[in-house]
Structure 1
Amino acid sequence: MTADKPAQPPENIPLLTVSLVVYQPDLAVFKATLRSLSTAVQKLGAADTKVFIVQNCKTEAVPDLTAAVLQDIPFEILEGHGNIGFGRGHNLVLADTGQIHLVLNPDIEMAEDALVQAVDFFKKHDDCGLLTPQACWPDGTRQFLCKRYPALFDLLLRGFAPEFLKKLFGNRLARYEMSAETGLETFWAPPIVSGCFMVFRGDVYRKLGGFDPRFFLYFEDFDLALRAGKITRIAYVPSIRVIHEGGHAARKGFGHIKLFARSAFQFYQLHGLKVF
Structure 2
Amino acid sequence: MLINESLLDRPESGHVYLSVSVVIFKPNLALLQRTLDSLRCSVANLRAQRGHALSVSVVLIDNGADFISDTWASAFKQDAIEYHLMVGHGNIGYGRGHNLAIEYLTSDYHLILNPDVEMAEDALAQALNFFDKHSAVAAIAPHVSGEDGMTQYLCRRYPTVLDLFARGFLRGKAQALFARRLARYELRELIGSKPTVHERVGQTMDTFISPPIISGCYMMFRMGVLKTIGGFDPRYFLYFEDYDLSLRASAVANIAYVPAVRVVHFGGGASKKGWCHICMFAMSTYRFFNRFGWRWL
In the superposition, the TM-score normalised over structure 2's length comes to 0.85
Q: Percent identity?
A: 46
Post-superposition offset of 1:162: 2.2
Structure 1 position 55 matched with structure 2 position 62 = yes
Tell me what 2:198 maps to. none
Shift of 1:54: 0.3
CA contact (8 A) 1:181 1:187 kept: no
> Could you tell me which amino acid in structure 2 is paired with residue 211 of structure 1?
F
Mapped partners of 2:74, 2:296: distance in 1: 48
- CA contact 1:122–1:128 (8 Å) conserved in 2: yes
Checking the alignment, whether the CA contact within 8 Å between 2:145 and 2:264 is kept in structure 1 is yes
Task: Name 1:78's counterpart in structure 2.
Answer: 86
Structure 2 counterpart of 1:36: 38
- What is the TM-score with the length of structure 1 in the denominator? 0.92
* 1:97-246 pair list within 5 angstroms: 97-183=106-192, 184-185=194-195, 187-246=208-267
* Aligned partners of 2:22 and 2:114 also within 8 Å: yes
Instruction: Provide the C-alpha distance between the structure 2 equivalents of 1:87 and 1:195, rounded to a whole number of angstroms.
Output: 9
* Equivalent position SS for 1:180: helix
Note the alpha carbon deviations across 1:98-122, whole angstroms, 9 max, x for none.
1010000000000000000000000
Task: Give the distance between the partners of 1:219 and 1:263, measured in 2 at CA.
Answer: 6
| Counterpart residue number, 2:101 | 93
The answer for the alignment partner of 1:5 in structure 2 is: none
The answer on whether the counterparts of 1:188 and 1:233 sit within 8 Å (CA) in structure 2 is: no
Offset of residue 247 of structure 1: 2.6
Whether contact under 8 Å (2:62, 2:68) holds in the other structure is no
Structure 1: gaps of 5 or more residues: 1-8
Partners of 2:69 and 2:294 in 1: how far apart? 40
Instruction: Name the counterpart of 1:27.
Output: 29
Task: Compare 43-52 and 192-201 and name the one that shifted more.
Answer: 43-52
Conserved 8 A contact 1:87-1:217: yes
In structure 2, what is the equivalent of residue 67 of structure 1?
A: 73
Counterpart code for 1:76: H
Q: Verify the 8 A CA contact 1:91 1:210 in the aligned structure 2.
A: yes
1:262 to 278, 283, 287: 283
CA RMSD of aligned residues (A): 1.7
Aligned to 2:3: none
Give the superposition deviation at 1:68: 5.1
Segments of structure 2 that go 5 or more residues without pairing to the other structure are: 1-8, 196-206
